[in-house]
Structure 1
């Protein structure tokens, strides 16, 4: 039978299923963290959320690599993020610390993480087809992403695992620190602050090999002693937030100057 006469093969190509499977795996790993938290296995609970963040970071790249991106995958990714980085950290932090706050304030504060995560992802989905997205156009993100928010919210647990029993061993102190951290992270997630995305970061060619070596050393240190390294990652990310705001202001001002010059010269600026 000649080529044009061959019947078309029906069904979904495997390349579209693989990234969705990774997304579902991230959801399941995140929820498994809740199971560990219920059993009091705190280090495993936090490790599950961290692993879910790693899986969430690669599913989109796998989809683009295999040319398997789809609207279904984007919606599934948002639902997975709400579960793994909204619901799971909320329950872990409540069971570990916030339940020790007086009254029912601990649960109310814990809910801020889940609510902020859901609102952030709802905003992202609502703007996914929007033409005018200044932050995204310049390579920045709006607010801190859900995995980063979960990582920052769990920082008190990293510190406790690292410095125990000298740090956050008292339930009342632990609850207060976690409450403040949770509220700050929830605000940053729903804020309009520009934050660094991969498109906004640039690396000089001369720094490529040192950067790769640093990544390898970091990976080794992370597997050897994860809690100090995760604390360091959270600290570096938090410190970079004001630099991201300043960097975005500079890039936007430079773009505005370029548009003004182009308009004065009679050249139509790019959209």
Structure 2
């Protein structure tokens, strides 16, 4: 693993979760979108090389990040177009580092607040997770979905339709960026589906700032666009999150 060992992933995820719930105040099948304990400063790093999440995500060149409102302003304008979209255009849940744990399992291991036991072929038993979208504690991996914070269909609409298959696979399995994939309850993930912030926000008030910054960091990381309604919804979130900082690194 190039980023962090599985033995330390759970404590790190726990610390990040605690920081997010303090700093930002104002869902085994996975549907259209795919979720992660939060940090007040949403962060993303370079593309995955080993199939494991980074312990120290990258940031913009100045190292200080951007206020949420300023980060939103950096997202390019665009008009959404879903022509030709098929979910199969994105190859999901690869085992990038060939350790028998695919992307879904890597996220579950990294985000557990109580580490699950890992058996043969990365079968996970036990463990505990906190779904930050709805502040629900979950005690079985089968009750969780892995959410793409910016859903696959939304990514297609806002630029991914022009990518080749390899880059779409990279996006769908972006383990190096801390904020692209998050483990949440299946209920909230399926409620979200492929909707953007103009149509859906997490039900927990405590999740609003984190979700806004996660969304924006992912859009900036992958150079995706935002339409008018999406931008307006994000700006509304930002008004209640003056202390939220967005850090990201553009995907290579």
Q: Which has the larger radius of gyration?
A: 1
| Bigger relative contact order, structure 1 or 2 (CA pairs below 8 A, ≥6 apart) | 2
* Higher relative strand content: 2
Confirm or deny a common fold (TM above 0.5): no
TM-score by length of 1: 0.24
* Higher relative helix content: 1
